[in-house]
Amino acid sequence: MSKKLQTLGEFIIENQQAFPYSSGELSRLINSIRLAAKVVNHEVSKAGLVDITGAAGDTNIQGEQQQKLDVYANQKFIQTLTNREIVCGIASEENDEYITIQGQNNDHKNKYVVLMDPLDGSSNIDVNVSVGTIFSIYRRVTPVGTPVTMEDFLQPGNLQVAAGYIIYGTSTMLVYTTGHGVNGFTLNPAIGTYYLSHPDMKFSDDGNIYSVNEGNYAQFPQGVKDYIKYCQAEEGDRPYTSRYIGSLVSDIHRNMIKGGIYIYPSSSKYPDGKLRLLYEGNPMAFIAEQAGGKASDGERRIMDIKPQELHERVPFFCGSKNMVDKAEEFIAKAKNK
């Protein structure tokens, strides 16, 4: 007799007491993200059939052209989280400023803020490559009952209470952590239910995949160049395999399952790095550490960085612990020359 698969809803209820604050609000918040993800997944899966791919004609705060699905996903996540009156504020990579949310009675009683990249890697939609949603959840630090302020969003990653991503690919998965390991749930599209398919996900300590856009090699710092040469050298278990999709969620997801390192360093074009600390760096770092991996800016632990602004950028090295350690070693050696 086959074992009954556990649904995401059952898993959340069963593990609610493990949440830092077991009032039920965090459970309802994860459920809201699950619902919005199903709606977005439906649009992503039919993107080639309708006029929803390609550029929307606007640019976001980063100066990047917004894709139509970017805008759609952003609206759906904000709408779902707002309507359910679970969060007091939302910050999105697609919005210049954070959004303050108040309840039906014009109160500000909710305790959580959500920061998100609603559709990471959306430029890949037109070529049928996997994309994803990344989210990060914090408890507010300002008094309950007052409107949120910037202080509620500019928290270091080590204060996250939950983080996760949804990957829209050959199958759709929701992967998340509340600080008690990482679990992955796969959507059964026939009935719209997520089932626990990847319990207790882990990075191996070592891996043989390095993921970096080598087209930017000439612009990288010397330490990063040296590490890439190390990955390519024929010695021991090397050369490593180069695998780079250009969709952060997809690259991290693959490397967590197979073992590897993801690299998006600073460069002459992006001296502060390109990935966003709040919407990409912190949530992926939380997931990586909970899965036994490591995330760094090349020198510091990502989750110890105190954010200074909503759309702050950061160099990002994330994956199997020994591989990130080795990359840091090359970076430090080059700086000390």
Q: Are 89 and 60 in the same domain? A: yes
Which pLDDT score, from 0 to 100, does residue 129 have? 80
Range of the domain at 169: 8-198
Last residue of a domain, one of 142, 164, 198: 198
> Has residue 1 been placed in a domain?
no
Q: Is 237 annotated as a binding residue?
A: no
9 is in an annotated binding site: no
Q: Per-residue pLDDT for 205 more than 70?
A: yes
* Residues 122 and 87 occupy one common structural domain: yes
Share of the chain above pLDDT 70, in %: 90
Confidence of residue 124 (pLDDT cuts 50, 70, 90): confident
Check the annotation: does 123 bind a ligand: yes
In tens, the pLDDT along 33-44 reads 999 999 888 887
Confidence bin at 283 (pLDDT 50/70/90): very high
How many domains are contained in the chain? Answer: 2
Average pLDDT over residues 196-211: 97
What is the pLDDT confidence band of residue 108, given thresholds at 50, 70 and 90? confident
Does the N-terminal peptide bond of residue 156 adopt cis geometry, omega within 30 degrees of 0? Answer: no
pLDDT at 1: 41
**What tokens appear for 187 in the block?**
């959507």
Amino acid letter for position 21: Y
Q: Is 244 annotated in some ligand binding site?
A: yes
> How far separated are the first and last CA of the chain, in Å rounded?
64
pLDDT value at position 62? Answer: 62
What's the CATH number where 30 sits?
Answer: 3.30.540.10
Q: Of 198, 232, 247, which marks where a domain is finished? A: 198
Residues 100 and 179 in one domain: yes
Listed residues 178, 198, 218: the one ending a domain: 198
Is residue 316 classed exposed, middle or buried when 0-12, 13-18 and 19+ CB atoms within 10 A define those classes?
buried
Structural domain includes residue 267: yes
Q: How many CB atoms lie within 10 A of CB 48?
A: 11
**121 is an annotated ligand-binding site residue:** yes
- pLDDT band at residue 142, thresholds of 50, 70 and 90? very high
The mean pLDDT of 2-10, rounded to a whole number, is 81
Confirm or deny that 119 is annotated as ligand binding. yes
Whether 169 and 272 map to the same domain: the answer is no
172 plus 295 within the same structural domain: no
Distance CA 184, CA 252 (A): 13
Higher pLDDT, 288 or 3: 288
- The stretch 245-259 carries a mean pLDDT of 96
Q: Half-sphere exposure of 308 toward its Cβ, with a 13 Å CA cutoff?
A: 4
Does the annotation list 206 as a binding residue? no
- 94 marked as part of a ligand binding site: no
Confidence bin at 14 (pLDDT 50/70/90): confident
Q: Quick one: pLDDT at residue 60?
A: 62
Residues 163 and 263 placed together within one structural domain of the fold: no
Does residue 163 fall inside a structural domain?
A: yes
Asked if residue 221 and residue 185 are part of one domain, the reply reads no
In terms of pLDDT, which residue wins out, 238 or 69? 238
- Percent of the chain exceeding pLDDT 90 equals 69
How far lies 36's CA from each of 32, 145, 187, 238, 287, in Å?
6, 26, 13, 42, 20
CA distance 331 to 211: 17
Asked, for residue 203, whether it belongs to a domain, the answer is: no
* In contact, 177 and 162? CB cutoff 8 Å: yes
Residue 67 confidence (pLDDT): 62
Residue 280 counted as an annotated binding residue? yes
Tokens of 69: 């699905």
50 and 157 both lie in a single domain: yes
- CB 226 within 8 Å of CB 332: no
